[in-house]
Structure 1
Amino acid sequence: MTITTAITWIDVEGVNNMRDLVGIPAKDGRKIAANRLLRSDNLDRLTPASIETLVHQHDLTDVIDLRTRYELSRIGAGPLRQDPRVQVTTGSLYPEDDPRAVIPPWRETMSAITPTTRNEAMAAHYLEYLEARPDTVLAGLRVLGSARGATDIHCAAGKDRTGTLMAVVLTALGVPREAIVTDYEATNQRLDRIMASLGEAGAAGSATQGAYSGPEQTTPAEIMTNLLDLVEQRHGGVANYLDRIGWQGEDQARLESHLLTA
């Protein structure tokens, strides 16, 4: 079965990789509702006008910021943390998150992976997110289920950490694998913009300096396919993984009720 899923980009100043996952098919013939599940790159450069657009036109009430304390201590908290209309929840997907560290946490994690193809290495890296920080995964899903309006999930570029958590969310909602992969691949359409923005941040001395290069930052389907295969092999699938980390039936019911529509 071929799943045709349109990418609904949200174009506001200060963000490069924001989209609404509205319309993606889920379980029981339902779909993801509009203005409920958003994903993006970092929100530190949102302008006041952009914030008003997100709050009023997209019903933004919650943000899940997956960046590390290492990153936040160097880049800053961003304007939404001072906006009383939006609740920002922070949670790292790296096992150690020391804001005083000299070496960024991702370098140590990646260096521990057995040399292999880039796609296999990235999938293994993504699996490490889930296995190292189930607390962040569980907290993030519970934010999604309890939010008053739309929740935006983001990291720095909005592709690796964001893509991993989004894959868990979408799988939990019964979204077909093909649609999950399509959503993951969509970041390639905005990669030049994302890398240019992170490059500017790097020049200013942020944690992203020297960490990004074009061809090595793409989001090919194989990475996400490999990740979902690894979750099946190691945990018996996303549902079993979530059950083991404390996800409850009432959590699932709230998630579906808030995010899905007939």
Structure 2
Amino acid sequence: MSVQWLDFDSLVNARDVGGIPTVDGGAILPRRLIRSDNLQALTAADIQRLRELGVTDVIDLRSAFEVHSEGPGPLEVESGFAIHRHSFVIERAADGTVVSSDGVSSDDEADGRGGAELPGDALPWTGGRPHSVRIADAFASSYLSFLADRPASVLAALRDVAYADGAALVHCAAGKDRTGTTVALALMIAGADAEAVIEDYAASTERMELIIARLIARETYAESMAGRPVASHNTRPESMRAFLGYAEEHFGGVEPMLGRIGWTPTDTAQMRRKLVG
């Protein structure tokens, strides 16, 4: 399978998953689902490129801490883009209030805090939070924990992909773990070949040095990235294989696993219409 990398001025881990083979001999359609690292530094040319790719819906999986620390991104003032935010980690404000998946705690509207006091351990890779689901592979444990901790966020992100008016772009910070989980689930629902899904997930390793350089250059991520070898962030095929294997062994596959948290046959039909026609 050839990875469909996309060239941007600011993005280093952007690709179109179109062309990924399906189990029935077909393929995922191009310009339906795009994945990338964070969009905070988009140039005018990058935004035009997104329009040319037909992107209408942006699914932002960063935590509320990240969103508020980074501030408004370039797309905030652009027309034609619907931005959907769904945090995949449980976060608490300084007073202990649980922050909702879109970054609003129960009293945010009253005091204007908007998540600004969230602690920096609201980054999935810091190792400061226990996994809700633990298996031998730590990355796969993290991905399974997204479903256990924020099932509504996972469902909402997948539905945003399935029901997008045009192309859906999914991103987080690095575009590899939260994004990789969401894209893998969407592809599996659409009937993609599992080995091709694993290959797409693993492709981020090709760009890892560039990904880490981008993150270290930003204050939000610099401290948490310091001292960690680049290889520790790699998207190893065995991690996604373990994630999909767990779904198969314990639930009979991705679709029944998601069914346990509210995914429906109607959602599946829509995802397949979106991604394979």
- TM-score computed with the length of structure 2 as normaliser: 0.84
Per-residue deviation, 1:256: 1.1
Per-residue deviation, 1:31: 1.4
CA RMSD of aligned residues (A): 2.1
Shift of the 82–15 alpha-carbon distance from structure 1 to 2, 3 Å rule, reads same
**Unaligned stretches of 5+ residues in structure 1:** none
Q: Which amino acid aligns with 1:149?
A: G
2:85 to 72, 90, 96: 90
Match of 2:130 in 1: 112
Shift of the 81–222 alpha-carbon distance from structure 1 to 2, 3 Å rule, reads same
Give SS of 1:26's match: coil
Kept in 2: contact 1:185–1:221 (CA 8 A): yes
Per-residue deviation, 1:10: 0.5
Match of 2:35 in 1: 39
Alignment of 1:114-193 (within 5 A): 120-193=137-210
Per-residue deviation, 1:230: 2.1
Give SS of 1:259's match: helix
Shift of the 109–210 alpha-carbon distance from structure 1 to 2, 3 Å rule, reads closer
1:10 maps onto 2:6 in alignment: yes
Shift of the 164–208 alpha-carbon distance from structure 1 to 2, 3 Å rule, reads farther
Structure number with the higher helix fraction is 1
Distance 1:110 1:183 in 2: 28
The one-character-per-residue Cα deviations of 1:225-260 (angstroms, maximum 9, x if unpaired) are 111122234433211122122222222222111211
1:24 maps onto 2:41 in alignment: no
Distance 1:137 1:30 in 2: 26
**Higher alpha-carbon deviation: 90-99 or 164-173:** 90-99
Shift of the 174–88 alpha-carbon distance from structure 1 to 2, 3 Å rule, reads same
Give SS of 2:170's match: strand
Alignment of 1:172-251 (within 5 A): 172-201=189-218, 205-211=219-225, 213=228, 214-251=230-267
Distance 1:64 1:161 in 2: 11
1:260 maps onto 2:256 in alignment: no
Kept in 2: contact 1:42–1:157 (CA 8 A): yes
Distance 1:124 1:47 in 2: 36
Kept in 1: contact 2:191–2:272 (CA 8 A): no
Q: Which amino acid aligns with 1:51?
A: I
Q: How many aligned residue pairs are there?
A: 251
What is the percentage of aligned positions where both structures have the same residue?
36
Kept in 2: contact 1:27–1:173 (CA 8 A): no
1:80 maps onto 2:66 in alignment: no
Per-residue deviation, 1:185: 0.8
Distance 2:49 2:77 in 1: 16
**Higher alpha-carbon deviation: 99-108 or 41-50:** 99-108
- TM-score computed with the length of structure 1 as normaliser: 0.89
Kept in 2: contact 1:15–1:46 (CA 8 A): yes
Give SS of 2:263's match: coil
Q: Which amino acid aligns with 1:252?
A: T
